[in-house]
A and B are shown apart, each in its own frame.
Chain A
Amino acid sequence: MDIVRLSRLQFAVTASFHFIFVPLTLGLSILVAYMETRYLRTGDEMYRRMTRFWGRLFLINFALGVVTGITMEFQFGMNWAEFSRYVGDIFGTPLAIEATVAFFLESTFIGLWVFGWNRVSKRLHAASIWLVAIATNLSALWILLANGWMQRPVGYVLRNNRVEMADFMAMLTNTYGWLKFFHTVFSGYVLAAFFVMSVSAYHLLKKNNPQFFKASFRMAAAFGLISSLLVFIVGDFHAAEVAKTQPTKFAAMESVWDTQKAATYYLLIIPDPGNERNAVETIGIPRLLSLLAFHNGDAEVKGLKEFPKKDRPPVIATFLSFRTMIALGMLFILLTLMAYIISRKDRLESSTAFLRIMLYALPLPYLATQLGWIVAEVGRQPWIVYGLLRTSDAVSKSITPLQVMVSLIGFTLVYGLLVIMYIYLLSRFAKMGPDDELQAIIKPSGI
């Protein structure tokens, strides 16, 4: 394999691993902060136990999000030196701002929160987890403004043989970046809600601490319902933004080959990229595709044939990821709505079938977030910066395939080990339940 392929694969591996941890951090930080606020307001001991229990799971996840994040920042220079040199004048700025404005805040106050239970006032302690929650979300904003710029480059000029920033405000107000930000953080909230509901369902099925886990479930169900609706609404605007600014990606997402007005949306499509057509196209809803793309049923949707082959993204991966993500998004609305109603009516304990579904539904939001990134990143190909720089021109000139092969294997092994430890610790602590009095330290059984 060549350096470009290896580097892409490495970026995909490290980014996917990193994004196992990020969405849970985004959402769970808010839930834990809310729990601690409830404790502060009501003095109810249950909320303190909730803060501790969910907070402990949050921390296991948080640690891995942080250590795998450093890799992302270093890799731009290590593997994508030509990209960094060419667009660093504009792309480096949001990354540096993220570290300065968000990451310091997050890392400093998480230390205060973990070790500060008996050292700072209750109010300050609750404030510090809120600062962590705000900082992680702020961190996401800067990263996604950076990614949004790669998707839709704005506010730049070509000068001195590179891309230079001409208008910082243009990058800051890039609609693409903001839509991506909201879509991503809301999907993180959905994932966190499913996480809390899944763990709660486990305990409710076992009849452990029903009071505690019903309250947790109820909180997560409301959070999840609002968030899954928001993901969906923002997602619609996001897709429309893609149709407007990245026509090749949109055509691949929907597997549209021929440019057409008042385009039909087909529920079932089997793409046939070899022959530049769809092998199967059935159950059509007239004008829906134009409506989704441009919020206008008569609008023209560009097909892939409109563009030279060298400018088209891989269709199958983009199309299937997008369709599956949409289906999952709808399922999440349905499940969170049911969760909300059942928990409001206080029928959770008797709804064992539903609890079992929620217990095993946990991998689905993880899958959906990964698929979302596949749509975003594979769909942008062959560009690393849409319309400006090709991925094949962005890779470092000084590295060798052997170096990247070794680092790719290294990352795969190290991250594989991390994920094994992560699942082990998370599931053991999740199963243990909320009673810190029973001592939080795991007694290993048979390792």
Chain B
Amino acid sequence: MEFQILWFILWGVLWAVYFMLDGFDLGIGMLESFLGRNDAEKRVIINTIGPVWGGNEVWLITAAGATFAAFPTTYALMFSYLYSVLLLILFALIFRGVALEFRGKVDSETWKRGGDIAIFLGSLIPAMLFGVAFANIFQGLPMDAGGYHGTLLSLLNPYGLLTGVLFVLLFILHGALWLTSKTDGEISKRASIVADKSWYLLLIIAVLFLIYTASTTNLYANFLQSYIWLIVPVLAVVSLIGIRFFAARGQYLKAFYSSCLTIVMVIFSAVIGLYPNLVPSRTDPDYSLTIFNSSSSIYTLKIMTVVAVIFMPIVVAYQIWTYRVFRNRLSINDVLKDKESY
């Protein structure tokens, strides 16, 4: 197999795993202020992601780093073209991280309220803007011989905003399912209600997204050319229905796994639809950034492959292991008696 294709697959996997993992952190961040009725409850909610959110966020760093190393031209142009969006995502992630770490460190109403706002916005903004950014990539960026012609406002077009809402709902549902299976009592019950209701909302938005995608992007072309790949979006739909299926039976952990699969399959579908582009051009196809015209040299890709083959399995192994260490449900008592918790 060509190394560019291998790295394209890995690129898709890194983004998919990032959204699968940090997706529920972002969901938790958006839900914390609304599902926690008092400080103790809020602490329980953010402590469910306490040990793992940092490791989850590294998938983003790695996705960006892999883009840089494997497709430097795409990294350079994508990151500079999406300057303002990435800047807002950066600020939001900074606030989220700092607020999660520092919220519990000062016993003051104002401090904690500030922390809650930062956690909420620091989760909502990245969820929304990642959707906007990817939607614009699906549509193709306005780039040609004259360079880049977009602005922050042109990125916030209806399709971009719709995809942003889609991401927000995906992550709220994902976070609510996580919370339902990681807590007990009232919080778990409230989270399950959010999961149930947000599913229907997500379904409506997803249908709109699929229709809009057909009219404004070229993502379907690859699937129409070889039907075999349709298995991926079909799995996305099946697992989306699976969420409801399991949730209706009260099996929220299975519903959560189903939601993981949904997110991964959604990202995979998009990546297959993009192939061989990483960032298509809307104005002049000759200026599309493909995996072939924007990749590193084969030598560099080989080195990177060796590194990935050796280290990624190790990373996956110890991350799964830490999830197992912290697999139990959290109650208010656990959090109140643990001095190291958030």
- Tell me if A107 and B55 are in contact (CB < 8 A): yes
- Tell me if B68 and A84 are in contact (CB < 8 A): yes
Chain B: how many interface residues by the 8 Å CB criterion?
Answer: 68
Q: Which of A163-171, A203-211, A214-222, A345-353 lines the interface with chain B?
A: A163-171
Q: What 1/0 flags go to B36-70 for Cβ under 8 Å of A?
A: 00000000000000111111011011101110111
- Tell me if B339 and A115 are in contact (CB < 8 A): no
- Return the contact of A89 from the options B50, B101, B297 (Cβ within 8 A): B297
- Tell me if A66 and B79 are in contact (CB < 8 A): no
- Tell me if B304 and A96 are in contact (CB < 8 A): yes
Per DSSP, chain B at the interface is helix
Name A84-140 residues within 8 Å CB distance of B. 84-85, 87-93, 95-101, 103-105, 107-112, 114-120
- Return the contact of A85 from the options B62, B73, B104 (Cβ within 8 A): B73
- Tell me if B62 and A100 are in contact (CB < 8 A): yes
A96-B68, A115-B50 given; A104·B326 CB < 8 A: no
- Tell me if B61 and A99 are in contact (CB < 8 A): yes
A249 to chain B, nearest CB (A): 26
- Return the contact of B86 from the options A74, A98, A116, A164 (Cβ within 8 A): A74
Residue A401 interfacial (CB < 8 Å) = no
Give A425 to B111 CA distance when docked, in angstroms. Answer: 12
- Return the contact of B94 from the options A112, A159, A414, A440 (Cβ within 8 A): A414
Per DSSP, chain A at the interface is helix
- Tell me if B304 and A165 are in contact (CB < 8 A): no
Residue B145 interfacial (CB < 8 Å) = no
Give A59 to B50 CA distance when docked, in angstroms. Answer: 13
Residue B2 interfacial (CB < 8 Å) = no
Q: What 1/0 flags go to B94-118 for Cβ under 8 Å of A?
A: 1101100110111110110000000
For A118, what are the chain B residues with a Cβ–Cβ distance below 8 Å?
338
- Tell me if B80 and A396 are in contact (CB < 8 A): yes
- Return the contact of A97 from the options B106, B307, B325 (Cβ within 8 A): B307
Give A217 to B122 CA distance when docked, in angstroms. Answer: 39
For B64, what are the chain A residues with a Cβ–Cβ distance below 8 Å?
73-74, 77
Residue B296 interfacial (CB < 8 Å) = yes
For A282, what are the chain B residues with a Cβ–Cβ distance below 8 Å?
none
Residue B87 interfacial (CB < 8 Å) = yes
Residue A158 interfacial (CB < 8 Å) = no
Give A66 to B57 CA distance when docked, in angstroms. Answer: 10
Q: What 1/0 flags go to A257-277 for Cβ under 8 Å of B?
A: 000000000000000000000
A238 to chain B, nearest CB (A): 27
A328 to chain B, nearest CB (A): 30
For A84, what are the chain B residues with a Cβ–Cβ distance below 8 Å?
68, 72, 75-76, 79
Q: What 1/0 flags go to A47-83 for Cβ under 8 Å of B?
A: 0000000000001100110111011011011110111
- Tell me if B297 and A165 are in contact (CB < 8 A): yes
For A165, what are the chain B residues with a Cβ–Cβ distance below 8 Å?
296-297, 299-300, 303
Q: What 1/0 flags go to B131-150 for Cβ under 8 Å of A?
A: 00000000000000001100
Residue B121 interfacial (CB < 8 Å) = no
Residues of B within 8 A of A (CB): 50-55, 57-58, 60-62, 64-66, 68-70, 72-73, 75-81, 83-84, 86-87, 90-91, 93-95, 97-98, 101-102, 104-108, 110-111, 147-148, 296-297, 299-300, 303-304, 307-308, 311-312, 315, 318-319, 322, 325-326, 338-341
* Further contacts, 15 of them, CB under 8 A, given A73-B65, A96-B70, A99-B58: A74-B86, A78-B87, A85-B73, A85-B77, A88-B75, A91-B72, A95-B69, A99-B61, A100-B307, A103-B61, A109-B318, A116-B51, A403-B83, A410-B91, A441-B104
A-B contact pairs, 6 of them (CB 8 A): A96-B65, A107-B55, A108-B55, A117-B338, A119-B325, A428-B106
